[in-house]
Amino acid sequence: MNCKISLLVSGPIFGLTLEGLPAAVRLKENSPAGTDVFCFEIDLSTGVSIAPGFPLILNSNPLTPDFMVSMVNSTHTKVTVTGSPNLDFESPSTHFVLQHLVVDNSKDFDLQTLTIILTDVDEPPVFLDETMNLFITFVHWCVCNPAINKMSLWFINVIKTSPSQSQSCT
């Protein structure tokens, strides 16, 4: 006996989907704590809700506490900068891959990624100390006349100034 069964499935296979993910976004370095990075929507089946403790960043590459995900309302979430530590373009990591996990009370789940790419911002030099002495040595050699060979020592005093003043070297 031969039977042929046709099955038409419409809509998502799972009762839970993360709309807008996977995605990649750019973020300026040194963005302050609370900066909104990305928003995404959670589509749920009728009659279910998000399980307590979700959504969460399950894993990040590299492991970092720089970002957090939180609920805006019952179906919308946002990813924000925590500010700890400061996001610096000159640090070893300039992009982050965050895996977002959401589970509902019927145990359906979805796991999607968000890639965050830090962009460089022109910034003035920062001196970590009030005063710094910088010694620069130049050696002048003349093979043709050893009598004029000399060594020059330059002393540069770098002084930290307030942001309203221009930075100068004396």
DSSP letters, the chain, are ----------S-SSSEEEET-SEEEEEETTPPTT-EEEEEEEEE-TT--BPTT-SEEEEEES--SSEEEEESSSSEEEEEE--SS---TTSS--EEEEEEEEEBTTS-EEEEEEEEEEE--------SSSEEEEEEEEEE--SS-GGG-EEEEEEEEEE---TTSPP-B-
**Interatomic CA distance for residues 149 and 147, integer angstroms:** 6
**For each of the chain's 170 residues, which pLDDT tens digit applies?**
555 544 444 444 457 899 999 999 999 998 999 999 999 999 998 889 999 999 999 888 888 889 999 999 989 999 999 988 788 888 788 889 999 999 999 999 999 999 999 998 887 776 666 665 655 555 555 555 555 555 555 555 555 555 554 444 44
pLDDT at 144: 57
Q: Whole-model pTM?
A: 0.64
Domains and CATH numbers, the chain: 16-119 (2.60.40.60), 124-170 (no CATH)
Take residue 13 and report the two structure tokens written for it: 């296979």
pLDDT score of 103: 93
| pLDDT value at residue 15 | 78
pLDDT of residue 83: 84
